Homo-oligomer: A and B are copies of this chain.
Amino acid sequence: MVQPAAAAVRPLSMADVAARAGVSHQTVSRVVNGHPSVAPATRERVEQAIAELGYRPNVAARALVTGSTRTIGLVTVKINQYGPAQTMLGLEKAARAAGYSLSVSILDDATAGAMRDAVDAFVAQRVDAIVALSTYDDAAEALASLEPPVPLVAVQVGGDEDRPAVGVDQEAGARLAVRHLLDLGHRTVHHVAGPADSKEARGRIDGWRAELEAVGAPVPEPLRGDWTPSSGYAAGRQLADRIRAGEDVTAVFLANDQMALGLLAAFHEAGLEAPDDVSVVGFDDLPEAPYFTPPLTTVRQDFAELGRRGVQLVLARLRGEDLHPRPVPAQLIVRASSGPAKPAPAA
């Protein structure tokens, strides 16, 4: 039962196991890899020797001869945002479930050079595939110019015609949020967008605009944020001023929850409260969102699913299939920050 502490001097090799089981190292290899033509008795003897010795095959040696490390490289830009961190978690789980391990490289910024270096390092490491996780155009561009000798899959990034990508359906998600607000009787919905060089931010703008146009609502100029609470706060101050100046702003849709938090803080300071004075809807559904003041209506993204599909796409590519995945749907979560529009002022 008790496993003797592995001798730290030199890790065991197949030869050690073979000697103990009284077979050739090749038979050990066959057992380890589940080859069919091994007699049951032999197999058992080998397995026992493996267990007794605590033997683990050396992946470097295996990689050298098979040419595959069974490792996926993940390049990402800053995982301090909730979304990417969650997605990474999903990727890791799915990868491990498929028998791959994940090697990560976290860039400080998405410059083409940094991206190229990271991909390069992964190529040297002989990863079987590379997953790029980022929503910025820089990253997408850098990726487009790269031609690594292994499959390169984008998650939430670019995704041209020939470079496959998985992502959440930003546009549909945004439309959900806007429709919800319009259904509540708001004449239009203002938007605090994410940074201009983010594909997701643009997707949300597109969805917001499309939904407004679909019902013939006026389309106000969107405000520009950068995902941070502080930029949401700035937007909130601006909108609060405009409201006090008499402008008809009754509903705001923000491109993420963090900015919504900042906006709520600014509104609160200005004496405006959601949903009475103005309705607020975010995007992401942070774990904190239900505890904002007030609890935030938002659009949930299924990041775990995103990670899963990313790995799925990688595996398909590895098999040579040309899968072009459908976007992951988003889901509206209604909480207290959105409510019916106040009766319109004298028209």
Which residues of A pack against B, CB within 8 Å? 5-8, 11, 56-61, 63-64, 69, 71, 78-80, 85-86, 88-89, 92-93, 96, 101-106, 108, 120-121, 123-126, 147-149, 228-230, 232-233, 258, 261-262, 264-265, 268, 287-288, 290-293, 295
Contacts and interface: CB of A to CB of B under 8 A. Distances in A.
Contact of A63 (B60, B102, B104, B147): B60
Nearest to A232: B291
B261 A291 contact: yes
A58 B230 CA distance: 46
A107 to B, nearest CB: 10
Q: How many copies make up the complex?
A: 2
Contacts of A264: 291, 293
Closest A-B pairs by Cβ, 8 of them = A56-B124, A60-B63, A229-B291, A265-B291, A8-B149, A293-B293, A60-B64, A262-B291
A106 B126 contact: no
Tell me which of A120, A258, A265, A268 has the highest count of chain B C-beta atoms within 10 A of its own C-beta.
Answer: A265
Contacts of A79: 85, 88-89
A101 B80 contact: no
Contacts of A64: 58, 60-61, 64
A119 to B, nearest CB: 11
Contact of A101 (B103, B147, B268): B103
Nearest to A10: B67
A101 to B, nearest CB: 6
A6 B147 contact: yes
B293 A5 contact: no
Nearest to A103: B103
A124 B262 contact: no
B126 A60 contact: yes
A104 B80 contact: no
